[in-house]
Amino acid sequence: MNRKSMQIFSIGWFGAACCIAAAYFILQPDQNETDISAQSTEQEQAEEQTSSGTRNTEEHIASLESDGYVVLTEEEYSTIQEENVPSEEEETNEVTAILHIEQGMTSGDVASLLQQLEMVEEGSIFQQQLQESGLASSIRPGQYKVNSTMSAQDIIHQITS
């Protein structure tokens, strides 16, 4: 191909792209018209369903119950929710302690100390979690406030950071 042929070829492609872009922007329907037509279609479908004899409430409930669902009225639901609210007497007994880690203590020492303070059930499991996380050598000396509701990962994060 010579230079003139290449120029004509590129002008042709440019012209085609311009025509397609113009058609795209000029012939594109307005977004508002599309939204309005979609809304009217949805309204027509809703009216069609109500007029064509939809199932009544009892039939809906029976269908849901046959599928394994439990159907409650708002009153029944609110009474169940009120019953599930924990009272002040049912408070969990949270035990808080100060964990004192001294320089040179090993992960086994810390685990047994936490077991003595009843912060973990099994010291060996805590020590294993500490070693699996790769933080057994990152224990920092100091005093840490821990409570019985903390998970092992929370305690590990607190004593290693």
Tokens 């004593």 -> residue? 159
Residue 110 CB partners (closer than 8 Å, separation 6+): 99, 101, 127, 130, 139, 159
HEC assignment per residue over the chain: CCHHHHHHHHHHHHHHHHHHHHHHHHHCCCHHHHHHHHHHHHHHHHHHHHHCCCCCHHHHHHHHHHCCCCCCCHHHHHHHHHHHCCCHHHCCCCCEEEEEECCCCCHHHHHHHHHHCCCCCCHHHHHHHHHHCCCHHHCCCEEEEEECCCCHHHHHHHHHC
Return the CATH architecture of domain 96-160: 2-Layer Sandwich (3.30)
Confidence at residue 52, expressed as pLDDT on a 0 to 100 scale: 44
Burial code of 75-112, b = ≥16 C-beta within 10 A, e = fewer?
A: eeeeeeeeeeeeeeeeeeeeeebebebeeeeebeebbb
- Asked whether 105 and 154 are in contact (CB, 8 A), the reply is no
Report how far residue 106's alpha carbon sits from residue 111's, in angstroms, rounded to the nearest whole number.
Answer: 9
Q: How far is CA 105 from the centre of its chain?
A: 39
Q: How far is CA 71 from the centre of its chain?
A: 26
Report how far residue 139's alpha carbon sits from residue 135's, in angstroms, rounded to the nearest whole number.
Answer: 7
pTM for this model (two decimals): 0.43
Tens of pLDDT, residue by residue, the chain (161 residues):
799 999 999 999 999 999 999 999 888 766 656 566 666 677 776 666 655 445 578 888 888 889 988 888 889 888 888 888 765 555 567 788 888 888 888 888 988 988 888 888 888 888 888 888 888 888 889 899 988 888 888 988 888 87
